[in-house]
Amino acid sequence: MISRQGCAAMVLGGPTAVLDLGGLRMVSDPTFDPPGPHDYLTKTAGPAVTEDQLGQVDLVLVSHDNHPDNLDDRGRALALAAPLVLTTSSGAGRLGPPAVGLAAWASYTVVRPDGGDLTVTAVPAVHGPDDAERDADGFVNCEVIGFVLSGPGLPTVYLSGDNASIGTVAEISRRVPDVDAAVLHAGAARVQGKFRDRALSLDSIRAAAAAAVLGPAVVIPAHYDGWAHFAEGRDDLVRAFDDAGLGARLRLPDHGTWVGLRS
């Protein structure tokens, strides 16, 4: 069993991260299936930690439920067994209880075991190029959100979800000016034939640009390995952050390793 931490995050592979904050254990975009095909996507590696090793999960954050690289079969089972899932408005309708849907800039308050509150604020995300064709609801690819976690005595943590837009990051930075740590979905995800094969998530250079805009002391990349459609990996991230002069902020340990969320 993975012991609880005071204020730390752990990337398990793919987009999945565990966050221990304010006495709460949270899992973001859970993917726990073994390697294999998932419709038009292929998973190439399983998680560094299985769901059975996590113990009690208090909250699951799902940036979107539409794609199996963000919510696979076993990840969905973990989410639906949790006391609370926060996700998109449309995703909550598909998942059903205990999912609660949040539109961008809506917040949900969770009571912490230490007696305080954790505020989870949904923030916008663009799952593809900013200039791509949008659906009838105004979304690129599908409805996606990121999350900002905050509360008294806690660092402010941004989880990007599958966002490819630096303009969106700039908007978040204007409204949330003091981000202490960021979990950025990178990997330059590409699906053949979609948006002229342009990236659906941050590439490494834009991940470094997002870090420069937000200004967190701690940057933890996720969503850069474990699936065949990720076009960039660890070495690309290290190079991009070094080139941007931000290498000291980058945290890229082996999956399954805790990273402190305070500088």
Structure-block tokens of residue 92: 């909550």
pLDDT (mean) for 169-181: 97
- Show the domains of the chain with their CATH numbers: 7-250 (3.60.15.10)
256, burial (CB in 10 Å: exposed 0-12, middle 13-18, buried 19+): middle
Position 187 confidence tier, pLDDT thresholds 50, 70, 90: very high
* pTM for the whole structure: 0.96
Position 72 confidence tier, pLDDT thresholds 50, 70, 90: very high
pLDDT digits (tens, 9 = 90+) for 73-96: 999 999 999 999 999 999 999 999
pLDDT digits (tens, 9 = 90+) for 25-51: 999 999 999 999 988 899 999 999 999
pLDDT (mean) for 104-112: 98
If you search the block for the tokens 């402190």, which residue do you land on? 260
Residue 157 backbone phi and psi in degrees, to 5? -120, 130
